[in-house]
Structure 1
Amino acid sequence: MRTFMMVLGLMVCFGSGAFADESKIQNVISSQIEAFQQDDIETAFTFASPKIQLLFGSPENFGKMVQNGYPMVWRPSDVTFLRQKADGGVVLQEMRFSDADGIGHAFIYEMVDVSGSWKINGVYKIKSNDVSA
């Protein structure tokens, strides 16, 4: 019985750590989406990894790319977090965005840990039927 309780305790500890990271990752993505909805490009840019920040060079360039290339992320009518998967040093978060017309779009957010904070390292559009419901 004592061994069972110890194993159960370890499972809770490790499980809650995984949940905490899942929650932190979802909070980062949600915060960036909220910043887009408020046209706060400077704040949205802070959630991007150093690689993405270097690629775009400025919040303005980054904002234009999202607004023009990903309008469903810029102004979603609905956002759904789907499954999350660790893959080496990154975490992949599956997402479903509905655009202004209610059409669903599927994405994978690549998340990386940068000095103890999760950052968005890339967003990849995928076929909707590739995403779990």
Structure 2
Amino acid sequence: MKTTQPDRRQSGFSLIELLTVMVIIGLLAAIVIPNLSFLSGTADKVKDKRNAQNILLAYTTGAAAGVKWPGGDVATQVAAVLAGRKPNGGSLANMNFQSTVSADQVEGTYIYIGVRATGELFFDAQGGQPASGH
């Protein structure tokens, strides 16, 4: 008695099909990934702008509370905001007005911070200030 096995239908993908798909995905990745580098530059600008806003918030809040910030260029005043200051008197005399931005994150913020003729710092959303902070 001879038994025959029913025909097996092969399911799945062949090795050639899998390799073809992997090559196509690799080519797409090689094209797309280098073009995503602009996103990191944009993220850095947003981070620097937010850090500048944080510095200016501490500066203006402190000035409103009676802190006497030093005069001079932007870099001098920003360094004072990073170090923190307390008002000489008033109800907020024990409060320290200080930015939460760390010193190593300040460099990119200078283009968003300017100094008025009166000596006050201001925020420039366009980033038109000297990058040196001087």
TM-score of the superposed pair, with normalisation by structure 2: 0.36
Which protein is bigger by CA-based radius of gyration? 2
Q: Which has the higher strand share?
A: 1
Which structure's relative contact order is higher, taking Cα pairs within 8 Å and 6+ residues apart?
2
User: Structure 1 length as normaliser, TM-score?
Assistant: 0.36
